[in-house]
């Protein structure tokens, strides 16, 4: 949580991708509002084309929006291709974009459709609204689809009924949208989800994580599926117990594992603490790769360290290890195992929370096998 008919693209890669580090996708202008950029996200299209977006704090007018950049060389170079613009509220698309490619037909939306979810918020930050957009032409144009949740002011304060941080997943022929919710008066913040069979209408709300202490603030859901058909969810546990500085309010990274992505509330609650005693703090992101052994490798990033945290034992809480990366620390740093080469991990960041005048959107790709050989 912040404080303050579709045609498939042709294949572009014929050889293995090479690792690289520190590529700059975008640098904001000097006249942009602090922090300039933040909260980068990506998606990979059929054929290996990559799209990226982020929070863009550009001067207004015009209304802020989510820029779309694309890469056809595995992330080494990027070009601007479009912008996802607010078409319904007159507020702009301001915070927490998320990109997702449908893996199957949902309602009238064919497999391969790109879905974008994000927080539409006016310039005075008086409202929050999670809206969904879609592109059927590989990201060149975008249409409004539906509103999922409406909330109050964009303030991360207990008692202010805001909604935040959408995440999308397909399950049993339907689309699930997860988000953070401050509207329930029983909790400062909780995690929940809603399900849709058509992307147009959304079902009842189901809690995924809440705690009996009102000031606890679980936030920032991300989920990956494991090879044993289990689902692993990471989140930050605002107010959770920590190894270092236990008397201060922090956001340790926690996770839950469930046989269904709809039943995390009853799943055991675990903290990530590595074999060398590191506890990742804040804004996690999780993914999985088949590389690393019979169970593959769970990979987690956090918002306060440049390392990634790996687990080759299906989430066994005693099996977390650390891998150094060349990509710098970013708030809500993003991970993607590339479909074109499952041994390549893309790490994308948009910089740190304000105040920051040096944020830019950057990306690195690392060789997972080499990283695992040096894990600690």
Residue 88 structural domain: 20-373
Instruction: Report how many domains make up the chain.
Output: 1
| Per-residue model confidence (pLDDT) at position 1 | 58
Instruction: Answer yes or no: is 3 within a domain.
Output: no
Please write the tens of the pLDDT for every residue from 79-123.
Answer: 999 999 999 999 999 999 999 999 999 999 999 999 999 999 999
Residue 9: pLDDT over 90: no
Instruction: Answer yes or no: is 2 within a domain.
Output: no
Q: Provide the CATH number for the domain around residue 326.
A: 2.120.10.10
Inter-CA distances, 220 with 26, 81, 120, 171, 332, Å:
24, 28, 17, 19, 8
Instruction: Answer yes or no: is 10 within a domain.
Output: no
Residue 45 token pair: 């299209």
Please write the tens of the pLDDT for every residue from 169-210.
Answer: 999 999 999 999 999 999 999 999 999 999 999 999 999 999
Inter-CA distances, 45 with 99, 115, 123, 153, 224, Å:
11, 12, 32, 35, 18
Instruction: Answer yes or no: is 289 within a domain.
Output: yes
Instruction: Answer yes or no: is 223 within a domain.
Output: yes
| Per-residue model confidence (pLDDT) at position 18 | 61
Instruction: Answer yes or no: is 132 within a domain.
Output: yes
């Amino acid at each position: 949580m912040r404080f303050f008919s579709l045609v498939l693209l042709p294949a572009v890669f014929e050889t293995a991708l090479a690792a690289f580090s520190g590529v700059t996708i975008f640098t904001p202008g000097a006249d942009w509002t602090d922090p300039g950029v933040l909260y980068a996200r990506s998606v990979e299209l059929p054929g290996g084309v990559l799209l990226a977006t982020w929070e863009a704090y550009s001067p207004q007018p015009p209304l802020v929006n989510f820029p779309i950049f694309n890469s056809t060389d595995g992330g080494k170079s990027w070009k601007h291709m479009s912008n996802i613009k607010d078409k319904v509220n007159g507020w702009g698309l301001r915070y927490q974009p998320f990109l997702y490619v449908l893996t199957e037909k949902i309602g009238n939306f064919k497999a391969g459709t790109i879905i974008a979810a994000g927080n539409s918020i006016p310039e005075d930050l008086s409202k929050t609204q999670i809206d969904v957009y879609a592109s059927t032409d590989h990201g060149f144009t975008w249409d409004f689809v539906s509103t999922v949740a409406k909330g109050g002011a964009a303030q991360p304060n207990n008692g202010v009924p805001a909604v935040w941080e959408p995440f999308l997943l397909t399950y049993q022929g339907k689309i699930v949208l997860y988000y953070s919710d401050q509207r329930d008066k029983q909790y400062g913040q909780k995690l929940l989800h809603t399900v849709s069979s058509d992307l147009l209408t959304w079902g009842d709300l189901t809690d995924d994580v809440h705690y009996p202490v009102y000031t606890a603030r679980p936030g920032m859901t991300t989920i990956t599926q494991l090879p044993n058909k289990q689902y692993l969810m990471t989140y930050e546990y605002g107010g959770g117990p920590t190894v270092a500085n236990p008397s201060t309010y922090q956001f340790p990274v926690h996770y839950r594992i469930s046989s269904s992505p709809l039943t995390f509330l009853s799943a055991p609650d675990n903290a990530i603490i590595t074999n060398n005693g590191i506890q990742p703090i804040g804004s996690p992101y999780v993914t999985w790769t088949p590389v690393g052994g019979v169970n593959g490798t769970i990979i987690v990033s956090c918002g306060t360290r440049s390392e990634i945290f790996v687990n080759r034992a299906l989430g066994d809480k005693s099996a977390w290890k650390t891998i150094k990366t060349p990509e710098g620390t970013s708030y809500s740093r993003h991970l993607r195992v590339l479909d074109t080469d499952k041994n390549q991990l893309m790490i994308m960041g948009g910089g740190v929370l304000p105040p920051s005048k040096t944020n830019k959107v950057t990306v690195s790709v690392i060789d997972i096998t080499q990283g695992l050989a040096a894990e600690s």
